[in-house]
């Protein structure tokens, strides 16, 4: 079994989801008392968000590179970044290490294609929804991506940083998210990508008739498969 190097803490609430799903998937795959071989480098999200909000992505990259190098030195066979937004700096991280990074958007693309989804709604941080680093990966897989209008992008982003990343799940915010999902469905979305690893704490398949693709779950399951297929 390969050793998984997790870069977590962004936020730590969703990192717990990764740990649980990876170990569950490994046990289901290998049986018995098997669990995942996992190294976790949990970084201070305050430092990351401070640089994100100022557009200081090179500073973000430096933090992530140090985390990835530490995991490689400790014996990780590959890296899993437990957040969507910080995949923006994957090229810089990959240049600094010799082990592979399991890209979240590539894992999500595979699952959407398996489910015959060609047009999907994307919810996430404003960086994920408005910049090209994530959407381009999905488009490369042949997917058409729909994002909310600008006012709704701000609502989604605020709820992520001011509520979900703090472990707060609000009924009002959930209704707003479902309203936005419904609008995107009317625009032709065949499924919705929860493109922030915290959104799954609030929105699940039971909340909407539109197929829901939780990126944290998909990414963690792919990490377990990759580790077990060594």
Active site (annotated) includes residue 83? yes
Please report which confidence band the pLDDT of residue 214 belongs to, taking 50, 70 and 90 as the band edges.
very high
Helices 12-30 + 215-228 axis angle, to 10: 40
CA distances 87 to 11, 65, 66, 79, Å, are: 14, 12, 15, 12
Domains and CATH numbers, the chain: 4-103+218-229 (3.40.50.1860), 105-215 (3.40.50.1860)
Closest by CA to 201, choosing from 156, 167, 155, is 167
Q: What is the pLDDT of residues 51-80, one digit of tens each?
A: 999 999 999 999 999 999 999 999 999 999
Q: Is the pLDDT of residue 117 over 80?
A: yes
Q: Is the pLDDT of residue 198 over 70?
A: yes
Arithmetic mean of pLDDT, 87-99 = 97
| pLDDT for residue 230 | 58
Catalytic site residue from 17, 83, 85, 197: 83
Rg, Å, the chain Cα set? 17
Catalytic site residue from 60, 165, 196, 197: 196
């Amino acid at each position: 079994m390969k050793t998984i190097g997790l870069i977590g803490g962004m936020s730590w609430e969703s990192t717990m989801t990764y740990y649980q799903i990876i170990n569950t998937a490994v046990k289901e795959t290998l049986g018995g008392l098997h669990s995942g071989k996992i190294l976790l480098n949990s970084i201070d999200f305050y430092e990351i968000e401070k640089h994100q909000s100022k557009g200081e992505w090179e500073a973000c990259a430096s933090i992530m590179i140090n985390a990835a190098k530490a995991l490689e030195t400790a014996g990780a066979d590959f890296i899993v970044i437990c957040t969507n937004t910080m995949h923006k700096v994957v090229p810089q991280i990959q240049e600094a290490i010799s082990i592979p990074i399991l890209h979240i958007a590539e894992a999500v693309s595979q699952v959407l294609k398996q489910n015959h989804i060609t047009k999907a709604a994307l919810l996430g941080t404003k960086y994920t929804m408005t910049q090209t680093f994530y959407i381009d990966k999905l488009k490369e897989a042949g997917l058409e991506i729909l994002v909310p209008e600008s006012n709704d992008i701000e609502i989604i982003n605020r709820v992520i940083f001011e509520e979900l990343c703090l472990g707060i799940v609000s009924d009002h915010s959930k209704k707003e998210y479902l309203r936005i999902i419904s609008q995107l469905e009317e625009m032709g979305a065949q499924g919705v990508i929860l493109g922030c690893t915290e959104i799954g704490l609030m929105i699940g398949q039971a909340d909407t008739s539109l197929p829901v693709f939780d990126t944290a779950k998909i990414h963690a399951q792919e990490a377990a498969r990759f580790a077990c297929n060594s």
